Amino acid sequence: MTNVVQSLSDFFATLGLTTVLIFVTVLLISLWMLSSRNPRVNWPPGPVCFPVVGCLPQLMISGRRRQPTDLLPWYDTYGNIMHIKLGEQHMIMLGTYELIQEAFVKNAATVSARPTWVYYIRRLVGKDGAGVIFKNGHAWKELRRFTLSSLRDFGLGRKSLQEKIQDEARYLVQNIEDENGKAFSPRDRIGKAVSNIISIVVFGARYDYEDTPEMLSVLEESVRLNKGGPLAFTNLARLLFPKKKFVLMDELYILIRQEVKRHRQSFDPTDIRDFIDLYIKVTQERLDPEIFTDWNVFRIIVDLYLAGTDTTANALRWSLVHMVNHPDVQKRVQKEIDQVIGQGRVAKMEDKASMSFTEATILEVFRMSTVVPMGGPHATSESTTLAGYTIPKDTIILGDLYRVLHDKNNFEDPYKFKPERWLDGDGKVIKSDKMIPFSIGPRICLGKGLAEMESFIFFTTLLQNFTFKVPEGDNPPNGVEGLHAITFSPHDYNVCTVRR
Protein backbone atom coordinates (compact mmCIF):
# COMPACT_ATOMS: atom_id res chain seq x y z
CA MET A 1 0.00 0.00 0.00
CA THR A 2 2.87 2.32 0.85
CA ASN A 3 4.41 1.67 -2.57
CA VAL A 4 1.13 2.53 -4.31
CA VAL A 5 0.82 5.82 -2.45
CA GLN A 6 4.43 6.67 -3.20
CA SER A 7 3.95 5.89 -6.91
CA LEU A 8 0.88 8.12 -7.10
CA SER A 9 2.74 10.89 -5.28
CA ASP A 10 5.65 10.62 -7.75
CA PHE A 11 3.24 10.66 -10.69
CA PHE A 12 1.45 13.85 -9.60
CA ALA A 13 4.78 15.47 -8.82
CA THR A 14 5.70 15.19 -12.52
CA LEU A 15 2.56 17.11 -13.50
CA GLY A 16 2.06 20.84 -13.31
CA LEU A 17 -0.27 22.40 -10.73
CA THR A 18 -2.73 23.46 -13.46
CA THR A 19 -2.94 19.91 -14.79
CA VAL A 20 -3.58 18.50 -11.33
CA LEU A 21 -6.33 21.06 -10.65
CA ILE A 22 -8.00 20.27 -13.99
CA PHE A 23 -7.81 16.55 -13.22
CA VAL A 24 -9.37 16.99 -9.79
CA THR A 25 -12.10 19.29 -11.14
CA VAL A 26 -13.04 16.87 -13.93
CA LEU A 27 -13.07 13.99 -11.44
CA LEU A 28 -15.37 15.82 -9.04
CA ILE A 29 -17.75 16.89 -11.82
CA SER A 30 -17.85 13.32 -13.14
CA LEU A 31 -18.65 11.94 -9.71
CA TRP A 32 -21.31 14.59 -9.24
CA MET A 33 -22.93 13.81 -12.60
CA LEU A 34 -22.93 10.09 -11.86
CA SER A 35 -24.41 10.57 -8.39
CA SER A 36 -27.03 13.05 -9.63
CA ARG A 37 -28.11 11.01 -12.64
CA ASN A 38 -31.30 9.26 -11.56
CA PRO A 39 -34.01 9.51 -14.23
CA ARG A 40 -36.58 7.91 -11.92
CA VAL A 41 -36.53 10.88 -9.53
CA ASN A 42 -38.41 14.00 -10.56
CA TRP A 43 -37.04 16.41 -7.99
CA PRO A 44 -38.75 19.75 -7.34
CA PRO A 45 -36.84 22.79 -8.62
CA GLY A 46 -33.99 24.18 -6.55
CA PRO A 47 -30.63 25.93 -6.66
CA VAL A 48 -27.61 24.53 -8.46
CA CYS A 49 -25.86 21.90 -6.37
CA PHE A 50 -22.09 21.59 -6.64
CA PRO A 51 -20.03 18.40 -6.43
CA VAL A 52 -19.39 17.09 -2.92
CA VAL A 53 -20.63 20.22 -1.10
CA GLY A 54 -24.07 20.59 -2.70
CA CYS A 55 -25.69 23.96 -1.91
CA LEU A 56 -23.52 24.71 1.10
CA PRO A 57 -21.57 27.50 -0.65
CA GLN A 58 -24.76 29.44 -1.44
CA LEU A 59 -26.06 28.93 2.09
CA MET A 60 -22.79 30.12 3.60
CA ILE A 61 -22.88 33.25 1.46
CA SER A 62 -26.58 34.09 1.85
CA GLY A 63 -26.59 33.00 5.49
CA ARG A 64 -23.48 34.77 6.70
CA ARG A 65 -25.57 36.23 9.52
CA ARG A 66 -27.50 32.96 9.87
CA GLN A 67 -31.09 34.23 10.12
CA PRO A 68 -34.39 32.38 9.54
CA THR A 69 -34.99 34.75 6.60
CA ASP A 70 -31.94 33.47 4.67
CA LEU A 71 -33.89 31.01 2.52
CA LEU A 72 -36.85 33.27 1.76
CA PRO A 73 -35.43 34.60 -1.57
CA TRP A 74 -34.98 31.02 -2.77
CA TYR A 75 -38.71 30.37 -2.50
CA ASP A 76 -39.33 33.40 -4.72
CA THR A 77 -37.02 31.89 -7.33
CA TYR A 78 -37.79 28.16 -7.16
CA GLY A 79 -41.28 27.92 -5.68
CA ASN A 80 -42.89 26.79 -2.43
CA ILE A 81 -41.39 23.30 -2.58
CA MET A 82 -37.64 23.14 -3.18
CA HIS A 83 -35.01 20.47 -3.61
CA ILE A 84 -31.57 21.24 -2.24
CA LYS A 85 -28.50 19.14 -1.49
CA LEU A 86 -26.39 19.63 1.59
CA GLY A 87 -23.21 17.78 0.83
CA GLU A 88 -24.37 14.34 -0.23
CA GLN A 89 -27.80 14.62 1.40
CA HIS A 90 -31.00 15.31 -0.58
CA MET A 91 -33.47 17.57 1.22
CA ILE A 92 -36.95 18.92 0.45
CA MET A 93 -37.99 22.31 1.82
CA LEU A 94 -41.70 23.05 2.28
CA GLY A 95 -42.61 26.74 2.43
CA THR A 96 -46.41 26.86 2.85
CA TYR A 97 -48.90 25.61 5.40
CA GLU A 98 -50.68 23.56 2.74
CA LEU A 99 -47.50 21.69 1.77
CA ILE A 100 -46.53 21.09 5.39
CA GLN A 101 -49.99 19.73 6.11
CA GLU A 102 -49.83 17.49 3.03
CA ALA A 103 -46.48 16.08 4.18
CA PHE A 104 -46.79 15.90 7.96
CA VAL A 105 -50.51 15.14 8.30
CA LYS A 106 -51.89 13.58 5.11
CA ASN A 107 -48.69 11.63 4.40
CA ALA A 108 -47.71 11.13 8.03
CA ALA A 109 -47.38 7.37 7.56
CA THR A 110 -44.41 7.86 5.20
CA VAL A 111 -43.04 11.27 6.30
CA SER A 112 -42.73 10.86 10.08
CA ALA A 113 -39.35 9.15 10.31
CA ARG A 114 -36.18 10.84 11.55
CA PRO A 115 -32.97 10.84 9.48
CA THR A 116 -30.94 8.72 11.89
CA TRP A 117 -28.49 7.83 9.11
CA VAL A 118 -27.11 11.40 9.16
CA TYR A 119 -23.69 11.36 10.84
CA TYR A 120 -24.45 13.95 13.52
CA ILE A 121 -27.70 12.29 14.62
CA ARG A 122 -26.24 8.78 14.33
CA ARG A 123 -23.32 9.81 16.52
CA LEU A 124 -25.69 11.10 19.20
CA VAL A 125 -28.35 8.36 19.27
CA GLY A 126 -27.06 5.44 17.21
CA LYS A 127 -28.17 4.19 13.81
CA ASP A 128 -31.49 2.92 15.21
CA GLY A 129 -32.26 6.16 17.02
CA ALA A 130 -33.38 6.55 20.63
CA GLY A 131 -35.77 8.49 22.85
CA VAL A 132 -38.85 10.26 21.54
CA ILE A 133 -37.28 12.86 19.24
CA PHE A 134 -34.94 10.57 17.29
CA LYS A 135 -36.68 7.18 17.36
CA ASN A 136 -38.76 5.70 14.53
CA GLY A 137 -41.53 3.19 13.96
CA HIS A 138 -43.46 1.27 16.61
CA ALA A 139 -40.87 1.90 19.32
CA TRP A 140 -41.17 5.69 18.83
CA LYS A 141 -44.98 5.53 19.15
CA GLU A 142 -44.75 3.52 22.36
CA LEU A 143 -42.09 5.77 23.88
CA ARG A 144 -44.01 8.91 22.94
CA ARG A 145 -47.20 7.50 24.47
CA PHE A 146 -45.29 6.61 27.64
CA THR A 147 -43.68 10.06 27.86
CA LEU A 148 -46.92 11.99 27.34
CA SER A 149 -48.64 9.75 29.88
CA SER A 150 -45.81 10.45 32.33
CA LEU A 151 -46.20 14.20 31.87
CA ARG A 152 -49.91 13.89 32.59
CA ASP A 153 -49.20 11.75 35.65
CA PHE A 154 -46.89 14.45 36.98
CA GLY A 155 -49.46 17.16 36.56
CA LEU A 156 -49.49 18.49 32.99
CA GLY A 157 -52.98 19.96 32.77
CA ARG A 158 -53.51 19.48 36.51
CA LYS A 159 -52.99 21.74 39.48
CA SER A 160 -49.92 19.93 40.83
CA LEU A 161 -47.54 20.99 38.08
CA GLN A 162 -49.24 24.36 37.75
CA GLU A 163 -48.46 25.03 41.40
CA LYS A 164 -44.80 24.17 40.80
CA ILE A 165 -44.70 26.67 37.93
CA GLN A 166 -46.38 29.31 40.09
CA ASP A 167 -43.81 28.73 42.82
CA GLU A 168 -40.96 29.00 40.31
CA ALA A 169 -42.44 32.23 38.94
CA ARG A 170 -42.31 33.67 42.47
CA TYR A 171 -38.67 32.63 42.82
CA LEU A 172 -37.91 34.33 39.51
CA VAL A 173 -39.59 37.54 40.69
CA GLN A 174 -37.58 37.47 43.93
CA ASN A 175 -34.35 36.97 41.99
CA ILE A 176 -35.08 39.91 39.70
CA GLU A 177 -35.97 42.08 42.71
CA ASP A 178 -32.41 41.62 43.96
CA GLU A 179 -31.21 43.80 41.07
CA ASN A 180 -32.96 46.81 42.63
CA GLY A 181 -33.77 48.36 39.28
CA LYS A 182 -30.24 48.10 37.87
CA ALA A 183 -29.66 46.94 34.29
CA PHE A 184 -29.22 43.17 33.95
CA SER A 185 -29.45 40.39 31.38
CA PRO A 186 -32.52 38.20 31.95
CA ARG A 187 -31.12 35.35 29.85
CA ASP A 188 -29.71 33.04 32.53
CA ARG A 189 -32.42 33.75 35.10
CA ILE A 190 -35.15 32.75 32.65
CA GLY A 191 -33.17 29.66 31.66
CA LYS A 192 -32.80 28.58 35.29
CA ALA A 193 -36.50 29.08 36.05
CA VAL A 194 -37.66 27.05 33.06
CA SER A 195 -35.09 24.28 33.52
CA ASN A 196 -36.25 23.89 37.12
CA ILE A 197 -39.70 22.84 35.91
CA ILE A 198 -38.39 19.98 33.81
CA SER A 199 -35.97 19.09 36.63
CA ILE A 200 -38.94 18.66 38.95
CA VAL A 201 -40.68 16.40 36.42
CA VAL A 202 -37.62 14.26 35.60
CA PHE A 203 -35.45 14.32 38.74
CA GLY A 204 -37.98 15.32 41.41
CA ALA A 205 -36.03 18.39 42.50
CA ARG A 206 -35.53 22.08 41.76
CA TYR A 207 -32.27 23.96 42.25
CA ASP A 208 -31.32 27.38 43.56
CA TYR A 209 -30.30 29.89 40.90
CA GLU A 210 -26.79 29.94 42.29
CA ASP A 211 -26.59 26.14 42.48
CA THR A 212 -26.40 24.28 39.17
CA PRO A 213 -25.84 20.53 39.59
CA GLU A 214 -23.29 18.86 37.33
CA MET A 215 -25.89 17.13 35.18
CA LEU A 216 -27.71 20.34 34.32
CA SER A 217 -24.42 22.13 33.66
CA VAL A 218 -23.52 19.48 31.11
CA LEU A 219 -26.97 19.70 29.52
CA GLU A 220 -26.78 23.49 29.29
CA GLU A 221 -23.32 23.45 27.74
CA SER A 222 -24.44 20.79 25.28
CA VAL A 223 -27.30 23.03 24.18
CA ARG A 224 -24.91 25.96 23.71
CA LEU A 225 -22.73 23.84 21.43
CA ASN A 226 -25.73 22.68 19.40
CA LYS A 227 -25.15 25.14 16.56
CA GLY A 228 -24.43 22.91 13.58
CA GLY A 229 -26.74 24.58 11.08
CA PRO A 230 -26.74 23.05 7.57
CA LEU A 231 -23.48 21.19 8.24
CA ALA A 232 -25.31 18.98 10.74
CA PHE A 233 -27.03 17.20 7.84
CA THR A 234 -23.82 16.30 6.00
CA ASN A 235 -20.94 13.90 6.50
CA LEU A 236 -18.72 16.99 6.63
CA ALA A 237 -19.84 17.23 10.26
CA ARG A 238 -17.46 14.34 10.90
CA LEU A 239 -14.59 16.74 10.19
CA LEU A 240 -15.94 20.11 11.25
CA PHE A 241 -18.16 19.52 14.29
CA PRO A 242 -16.69 20.19 17.75
CA LYS A 243 -15.73 16.87 19.33
CA LYS A 244 -16.55 18.39 22.70
CA LYS A 245 -20.24 18.09 21.87
CA PHE A 246 -20.01 14.32 21.72
CA VAL A 247 -17.75 14.14 24.77
CA LEU A 248 -20.36 16.11 26.71
CA MET A 249 -23.13 13.75 25.66
CA ASP A 250 -21.11 10.71 26.73
CA GLU A 251 -20.48 12.41 30.07
CA LEU A 252 -24.17 13.20 30.38
CA TYR A 253 -25.19 9.56 29.92
CA ILE A 254 -22.81 8.57 32.74
CA LEU A 255 -24.40 11.15 35.04
CA ILE A 256 -27.94 10.03 34.14
CA ARG A 257 -26.96 6.43 34.83
CA GLN A 258 -25.71 7.49 38.27
CA GLU A 259 -28.97 9.32 38.95
CA VAL A 260 -31.02 6.26 37.98
CA LYS A 261 -28.86 4.16 40.33
CA ARG A 262 -29.54 6.59 43.21
CA HIS A 263 -33.26 6.46 42.48
CA ARG A 264 -33.21 2.65 42.54
CA GLN A 265 -31.72 2.71 46.05
CA SER A 266 -34.65 4.73 47.44
CA PHE A 267 -37.36 3.49 45.07
CA ASP A 268 -40.83 2.94 46.52
CA PRO A 269 -43.45 1.62 44.05
CA THR A 270 -46.20 3.21 46.13
CA ASP A 271 -44.60 6.66 45.95
CA ILE A 272 -43.66 7.58 42.38
CA ARG A 273 -41.74 10.84 42.72
CA ASP A 274 -40.67 11.65 39.16
CA PHE A 275 -40.06 10.36 35.64
CA ILE A 276 -37.08 8.23 36.66
CA ASP A 277 -39.17 6.46 39.31
CA LEU A 278 -41.84 5.77 36.72
CA TYR A 279 -39.24 4.27 34.38
CA ILE A 280 -37.95 2.00 37.20
CA LYS A 281 -41.51 0.85 37.86
CA VAL A 282 -42.06 0.06 34.17
CA THR A 283 -38.82 -1.94 33.93
CA GLN A 284 -39.71 -3.90 37.05
CA GLU A 285 -43.05 -4.76 35.48
CA ARG A 286 -41.09 -5.93 32.41
CA LEU A 287 -43.23 -3.92 30.03
CA ASP A 288 -41.72 -4.18 26.51
CA PRO A 289 -38.10 -4.65 27.68
CA GLU A 290 -36.80 -4.20 24.12
CA ILE A 291 -38.35 -0.71 24.00
CA PHE A 292 -37.99 0.52 27.59
CA THR A 293 -34.23 0.22 27.69
CA ASP A 294 -31.81 2.35 29.68
CA TRP A 295 -30.57 3.87 26.42
CA ASN A 296 -34.04 4.99 25.32
CA VAL A 297 -34.85 6.42 28.74
CA PHE A 298 -31.53 8.29 28.91
CA ARG A 299 -32.40 9.92 25.59
CA ILE A 300 -35.95 10.71 26.72
CA ILE A 301 -34.48 12.64 29.65
CA VAL A 302 -32.32 14.64 27.24
CA ASP A 303 -35.29 15.10 24.88
CA LEU A 304 -37.51 16.36 27.69
CA TYR A 305 -34.87 18.84 28.72
CA LEU A 306 -34.40 20.11 25.16
CA ALA A 307 -38.13 20.20 24.38
CA GLY A 308 -39.06 21.62 27.76
CA THR A 309 -36.31 24.13 28.44
CA ASP A 310 -34.50 25.74 25.52
CA THR A 311 -37.59 26.50 23.45
CA THR A 312 -39.74 27.86 26.29
CA ALA A 313 -36.87 29.90 27.72
CA ASN A 314 -36.25 31.50 24.33
CA ALA A 315 -39.94 32.32 23.91
CA LEU A 316 -39.87 34.14 27.27
CA ARG A 317 -36.65 35.95 26.36
CA TRP A 318 -38.27 37.12 23.14
CA SER A 319 -41.39 38.21 25.05
CA LEU A 320 -39.34 40.71 27.09
CA VAL A 321 -37.69 41.98 23.90
CA HIS A 322 -41.11 42.79 22.48
CA MET A 323 -42.37 44.30 25.73
CA VAL A 324 -39.51 46.83 26.03
CA ASN A 325 -39.88 47.63 22.33
CA HIS A 326 -43.65 48.06 22.62
CA PRO A 327 -44.41 49.71 25.98
CA ASP A 328 -48.00 50.35 24.86
CA VAL A 329 -48.58 46.60 24.56
CA GLN A 330 -46.91 46.06 27.94
CA LYS A 331 -49.23 48.58 29.58
CA ARG A 332 -52.29 46.99 28.03
CA VAL A 333 -51.28 43.53 29.26
CA GLN A 334 -50.67 44.95 32.75
CA LYS A 335 -54.07 46.61 32.75
CA GLU A 336 -55.71 43.28 31.97
CA ILE A 337 -53.66 41.57 34.69
CA ASP A 338 -54.79 44.16 37.23
CA GLN A 339 -58.44 43.68 36.24
CA VAL A 340 -58.47 39.87 36.26
CA ILE A 341 -55.78 38.83 38.77
CA GLY A 342 -54.80 41.91 40.75
CA GLN A 343 -51.70 41.88 42.91
CA GLY A 344 -52.73 39.38 45.57
CA ARG A 345 -52.01 36.07 43.83
CA VAL A 346 -50.10 34.42 40.99
CA ALA A 347 -51.73 33.74 37.62
CA LYS A 348 -53.30 30.34 36.99
CA MET A 349 -54.39 28.72 33.74
CA GLU A 350 -58.06 29.30 34.50
CA ASP A 351 -57.35 33.05 34.16
CA LYS A 352 -56.38 32.63 30.51
CA ALA A 353 -59.99 32.50 29.33
CA SER A 354 -60.59 35.98 30.77
CA MET A 355 -57.33 37.50 29.47
CA SER A 356 -57.75 37.70 25.72
CA PHE A 357 -55.18 40.44 25.09
CA THR A 358 -52.53 38.68 27.18
CA GLU A 359 -53.17 35.45 25.27
CA ALA A 360 -53.02 37.36 21.99
CA THR A 361 -49.68 38.89 23.01
CA ILE A 362 -48.19 35.47 23.78
CA LEU A 363 -49.49 34.13 20.45
CA GLU A 364 -47.83 37.04 18.69
CA VAL A 365 -44.53 36.28 20.44
CA PHE A 366 -44.77 32.66 19.26
CA ARG A 367 -45.54 33.82 15.71
CA MET A 368 -43.14 36.73 15.39
CA SER A 369 -40.18 34.98 17.04
CA THR A 370 -40.51 31.39 15.90
CA VAL A 371 -38.16 29.62 18.30
CA VAL A 372 -37.70 26.49 16.12
CA PRO A 373 -37.89 28.01 12.63
CA MET A 374 -37.52 24.73 10.71
CA GLY A 375 -39.08 22.40 13.24
CA GLY A 376 -37.58 18.94 13.61
CA PRO A 377 -36.22 17.13 10.54
CA HIS A 378 -38.64 14.61 9.05
CA ALA A 379 -37.59 11.85 6.67
CA THR A 380 -39.37 9.59 4.20
CA SER A 381 -39.57 5.97 5.35
CA GLU A 382 -40.58 4.97 1.81
CA SER A 383 -41.14 6.63 -1.53
CA THR A 384 -43.96 9.17 -1.32
CA THR A 385 -45.64 11.84 -3.44
CA LEU A 386 -45.67 15.52 -2.44
CA ALA A 387 -47.17 18.26 -4.62
CA GLY A 388 -47.01 15.90 -7.61
CA TYR A 389 -43.33 15.06 -7.11
CA THR A 390 -42.19 11.55 -6.21
CA ILE A 391 -39.81 11.82 -3.27
CA PRO A 392 -37.54 8.79 -2.70
CA LYS A 393 -37.09 6.94 0.56
CA ASP A 394 -34.48 8.39 2.96
CA THR A 395 -34.99 12.00 1.91
CA ILE A 396 -35.01 14.69 4.62
CA ILE A 397 -38.15 16.87 4.69
CA LEU A 398 -38.11 20.24 6.46
CA GLY A 399 -41.16 22.38 7.04
CA ASP A 400 -40.27 26.08 7.05
CA LEU A 401 -42.46 27.15 9.99
CA TYR A 402 -40.88 30.60 10.00
CA ARG A 403 -41.98 31.30 6.42
CA VAL A 404 -45.55 30.17 7.14
CA LEU A 405 -45.73 32.43 10.19
CA HIS A 406 -44.26 35.38 8.24
CA ASP A 407 -46.20 34.90 5.02
CA LYS A 408 -48.21 38.04 4.21
CA ASN A 409 -50.90 35.79 2.71
CA ASN A 410 -51.41 34.31 6.18
CA PHE A 411 -50.67 37.30 8.41
CA GLU A 412 -50.91 40.94 7.39
CA ASP A 413 -47.75 43.00 8.11
CA PRO A 414 -45.96 39.82 9.21
CA TYR A 415 -42.83 41.60 10.49
CA LYS A 416 -44.78 43.93 12.76
CA PHE A 417 -45.55 42.95 16.34
CA LYS A 418 -49.37 43.28 16.46
CA PRO A 419 -51.16 41.27 19.19
CA GLU A 420 -54.47 42.75 18.06
CA ARG A 421 -54.32 40.59 14.92
CA TRP A 422 -55.45 37.73 17.17
CA LEU A 423 -58.62 39.50 18.39
CA ASP A 424 -62.00 39.75 16.71
CA GLY A 425 -64.41 42.68 16.96
CA ASP A 426 -65.67 41.46 20.32
CA GLY A 427 -62.16 41.16 21.75
CA LYS A 428 -62.18 37.35 21.61
CA VAL A 429 -59.11 35.38 20.56
CA ILE A 430 -59.08 34.23 16.94
CA LYS A 431 -57.69 30.78 16.20
CA SER A 432 -55.79 30.07 12.98
CA ASP A 433 -54.85 26.72 11.44
CA LYS A 434 -51.73 28.40 10.10
CA MET A 435 -50.46 29.20 13.59
CA ILE A 436 -48.02 26.26 13.77
CA PRO A 437 -44.99 27.28 15.88
CA PHE A 438 -44.96 23.77 17.37
CA SER A 439 -45.33 22.10 13.94
CA ILE A 440 -48.21 19.72 13.15
CA GLY A 441 -48.86 16.02 12.70
CA PRO A 442 -47.64 13.06 14.79
CA ARG A 443 -44.25 14.73 15.32
CA ILE A 444 -45.75 17.89 16.82
CA CYS A 445 -43.56 19.24 19.62
CA LEU A 446 -43.69 16.97 22.65
CA GLY A 447 -43.48 19.94 25.03
CA LYS A 448 -46.31 22.01 23.49
CA GLY A 449 -48.70 21.78 26.43
CA LEU A 450 -46.00 22.42 29.01
CA ALA A 451 -44.59 25.33 26.98
CA GLU A 452 -48.02 27.00 26.75
CA MET A 453 -48.61 26.64 30.49
CA GLU A 454 -45.19 27.95 31.45
CA SER A 455 -45.31 30.82 28.96
CA PHE A 456 -48.64 32.07 30.30
CA ILE A 457 -47.80 31.81 34.00
CA PHE A 458 -44.21 33.12 33.79
CA PHE A 459 -45.04 35.97 31.38
CA THR A 460 -48.10 37.10 33.33
CA THR A 461 -46.30 36.94 36.68
CA LEU A 462 -43.36 38.98 35.40
CA LEU A 463 -45.60 41.76 34.06
CA GLN A 464 -47.77 41.62 37.15
CA ASN A 465 -44.75 42.54 39.26
CA PHE A 466 -42.51 44.63 36.97
CA THR A 467 -42.48 47.11 34.16
CA PHE A 468 -39.55 46.27 31.87
CA LYS A 469 -37.60 49.06 30.17
CA VAL A 470 -34.53 49.57 27.98
CA PRO A 471 -31.69 50.79 30.23
CA GLU A 472 -30.83 54.44 29.73
CA GLY A 473 -28.19 54.83 27.03
CA ASP A 474 -28.74 51.32 25.58
CA ASN A 475 -30.17 50.63 22.14
CA PRO A 476 -33.46 48.72 22.07
CA PRO A 477 -32.94 44.98 21.50
CA ASN A 478 -33.48 43.68 17.97
CA GLY A 479 -36.98 42.25 17.66
CA VAL A 480 -36.42 40.49 14.30
CA GLU A 481 -32.86 39.19 14.09
CA GLY A 482 -31.27 36.85 16.59
CA LEU A 483 -29.02 33.83 16.98
CA HIS A 484 -30.21 31.10 14.65
CA ALA A 485 -29.00 27.54 15.13
CA ILE A 486 -31.54 24.77 15.69
CA THR A 487 -33.45 27.19 17.90
CA PHE A 488 -33.83 30.94 17.42
CA SER A 489 -32.87 33.10 20.38
CA PRO A 490 -32.51 36.86 20.79
CA HIS A 491 -29.11 38.48 20.89
CA ASP A 492 -28.14 39.05 24.50
CA TYR A 493 -29.67 42.25 25.87
CA ASN A 494 -30.13 44.12 29.13
CA VAL A 495 -33.30 45.38 30.76
CA CYS A 496 -34.09 47.29 33.90
CA THR A 497 -37.24 46.93 35.95
CA VAL A 498 -39.60 49.16 37.88
CA ARG A 499 -41.49 47.40 40.67
CA ARG A 500 -45.25 47.76 40.27
Residue 2 lies in a domain: no
User: Cα Rg for the chain, rounded, in angstroms?
Assistant: 25
Contact 267, 283 (CB under 8 A): no
Q: How confident is the model at residue 476 (pLDDT cuts 50, 70, 90)?
A: very high
When pLDDT is averaged across residues 437-465 and rounded to a whole number, the result is: 95
For the segment 156-181, what is each residue's pLDDT rounded down to a tens digit? 555 588 999 999 999 999 999 999 98
pLDDT-wise least confident of 20-29, 54-63, 377-386, 408-417: 20-29
Average pLDDT, the chain: 86
Q: How confident is the model at residue 443 (pLDDT cuts 50, 70, 90)?
A: very high
User: Was 445 annotated as part of a binding site?
Assistant: yes
Residue 121 lies in a domain: yes
| Count of structural domains within the chain | 1
For the segment 217-268, what is each residue's pLDDT rounded down to a tens digit? 777 676 666 655 677 777 777 776 667 777 877 888 888 888 888 899 999 9
Residue 22 has pLDDT above 60, yes or no: no
Residue 292 lies in a domain: yes
Contact 400, 91 (CB under 8 A): no
When pLDDT is averaged across residues 197-215 and rounded to a whole number, the result is: 81
More confident residue, 157 or 144: 144
Residue 17 lies in a domain: no
pTM (two decimals): 0.88
pLDDT-wise least confident of 152-156, 277-281, 382-386: 152-156
* Residue 227, pLDDT score: 57
* Residue 68, pLDDT score: 86
Residue 1 lies in a domain: no
Residue 12 lies in a domain: no
- Residue 479: partners with Cβ closer than 8 Å, 6 or more residues away: 321, 322, 325, 368, 369, 417
Q: How confident is the model at residue 416 (pLDDT cuts 50, 70, 90)?
A: very high
- Residue 462: partners with Cβ closer than 8 Å, 6 or more residues away: 169, 172, 173, 176, 320, 468
- Cβ–Cβ contacts within 10 Å for residue 431, how many? 8
For the segment 256-299, what is each residue's pLDDT rounded down to a tens digit? 888 888 899 999 988 888 888 888 888 887 667 788 888 888 88
Angle (deg, nearest 10), helices 311-325 and 356-368: 110
Distance CA 441, CA 37 (A): 33
CATH number at residue 280: 1.10.630.10
- Domain extent, residue 284, equals 38-499
* Residue 487, pLDDT score: 86
* Residue 13, pLDDT score: 54
φ, ψ dihedrals at 314, nearest 5°: -65, -35
Angle, alpha carbons 432-452-304 (nearest 5°): 120
* Residue 217, pLDDT score: 74
- Residue 406: partners with Cβ closer than 8 Å, 6 or more residues away: 69, 370, 414, 415
When pLDDT is averaged across residues 117-129 and rounded to a whole number, the result is: 88
Cα–Cα separations (whole angstroms), residue 343 to 166, 340, 464: 14, 10, 7
Residue 57 has pLDDT above 80, yes or no: no
